[in-house]
Amino acid sequence: MPKIDILMPAPMSPEVISALDDHFILHRLWKQPDASKFLNKTGPHIRGLAVSTLAGRIDHALFDRLPALEIVANFGVGYDNVDARGAASRGIMVTNTPGVLDDEVADLTLGLLLATIRRIPQAERYLRDGLWPTGSFPLSPTLRGRRVGILGLGAIGKAVARRLDGFGVEIAYHGRARQADVAYDYYETPVALAKACDVLIAIVPGGAATRHLVNADILTALGSDGVLINVARGSVVDEMALFAALRSGTILGAGLDVFENEPNVPAALLDLPNVVVLPHIGSASVKTRAAMGQLVVDNLLAWFDGGKPVTPVPETT
């Protein structure tokens, strides 16, 4: 039986590329001198896509060029880079990589929270700049006595909550609906959650429904001792409103692993002393990224072997 043609629009890890080469005819679109000409010739034969956020938006513009496309295997639990509803309307399956990254992202979230509140990066810079002999680093705020609100209590949100339980802090949450098996206090709106807490952790999916969900009203509700942690998608936070809130003292500080226009980060945010910034590394460990890549491969293999992918997204099931 001839091998199936798979298209990879942008580079993925060498392990994923190697595994797909073993099982499929893998076409590397980024290596084509004329992508449009290549798609005109080869597009009708492509039955699968392996994509990450580096590929940009995957929607009708590409679907139209791939009339035989059956599946889009996305690298990442978030798949707002893929028009899943548009894919579903064409009978195209979409998969993602949930589960294998939950603990890694939760670990990073706690690290970012502690770094932001205890001002760990600022303290390190103080030492490296030779300032310790001139006097002690200023006292930091504390996690003690705080109430943490989790905006989006999905699998990763629950992993974050389990870790926070060990820190002895109160936990509350907001999501699309109250969860019957969750003992934490539930708030009907994000504003109500922010008003009741002084730490807000955003871990909701990206996309149009959550764009700028964390806005000026929520930041005001969070208050002058409040800390925002965003490990969701950059689009979830209104960065202009966040900059204004940080500069004016409307909130105390923020820890950000994601940004609206990655990898470009507004200089205005970088210049603020009360922000800790990371280059979107929530799941970026060798072990976890390897597991995510393997799940991309497994989804493609399972689909073409029997039409039942391992982790389909809800829109296409």
CATH 3.40.50.720 residue window(s) in the chain: 5-100+287-316, 102-277
Instruction: Out of 163, 212, 280, 315, pick the active-site residue.
Output: 280
167-196 confidence digits (pLDDT tens): 999 999 999 999 999 999 999 999 999 999
Question: Is 176 in the active site?
Answer: no
Residue 2, pLDDT > 90, answer no
Q: Residue 40: left if φ>0, alpha if ψ -120 to 50, beta else—which one?
A: alpha
* Mean pLDDT to the nearest integer, 155-177: 97
14-36 confidence digits (pLDDT tens): 999 999 999 999 999 999 999 99
Structure tokens at 71: 């599946």
User: Helices marked H in 138-180 — which ranges?
Assistant: 155-165
* CATH architecture of structural domain 102-277: 3-Layer(aba) Sandwich (3.40)
67-103 confidence digits (pLDDT tens): 999 999 999 999 999 999 999 999 999 999 999 999 9
Task: Round to whole Å and give the CA distance between 231 and 189.
Answer: 19
Residue 1, pLDDT > 90, answer no
How far is CA 267 from its chain centroid? 21
Question: Is 233 in the active site?
Answer: yes
Question: Is 262 in the active site?
Answer: yes
Instruction: Out of 47, 233, 239, 289, pick the active-site residue.
Output: 233
284-313 confidence digits (pLDDT tens): 999 999 999 999 999 999 999 999 999 999
Residue 148 — φ and ψ, nearest 5°?
-105, 125
Task: Round to whole Å and give the CA distance between 180 and 202.
Answer: 21
CATH of domain 5-100+287-316: 3.40.50.720
Sign of the Cα torsion 183, 185, 187, 191 reads negative
Name 6's bridge partners: 26, 48
